[in-house]
Amino acid sequence: MKPAFILFLSLLATHSFSQITSIWKGKTPGHECDWNWPCNWSNNRLPDDFTDVFIPVDNTLTYNYPVIKSDCIEINSLNMHRDASLIILNGKLSILDSAKSHYRKDQIQGKVKYEKPDPNSIPGDELTTIKSNKF
């Protein structure tokens, strides 16, 4: 019984800590704003459903914020600096844990699906098209 309990705790710990954080860097020559270019991310891999994404402010004159061009992207959470932005052209961004996410809706232009919404803010499984005049 004791080995089974230890195995259970080990599996639980592995599952609980499997989330990774990826920070947007951008500025890869020829792919400066491409979400789907691994070199634009701090860990050189594309975010997935186990990834907590952070988009910091870009204080340069070129403003290299991510653009999702045509894919359906699924991430665990999204955190954006208050002056950062994200554009979703023909694709869709699914955020699995919006309760863990921090951003303003006016920072995103495009379609966002909230898979596991914060019960205090957004109705479940809502597909929201966010439009902004900023872009």
8 A C-beta contact, residue 97 and residue 113: no
Angle at 74 between CA 105 and CA 20, to 5 degrees: 95
Query: Considering the chain, what is the average pLDDT of its residues?
Result: 80
Residue-wise pLDDT for 63-90, tens only, equals 789 999 988 999 999 999 999 999 999 8
CA distance 75 to 128: 16
pLDDT given for residue 134 in this prediction: 38
In the chain, where the domains are located:
19-130
- Is residue 108's pLDDT more than 60? yes
Per DSSP (E only), the strands in the chain are 20-23, 51-55, 67-68, 72-75, 77-80, 86-95, 108-114, 127-130
Q: Are 56 and 79 in contact (CB under 8 A)?
A: no
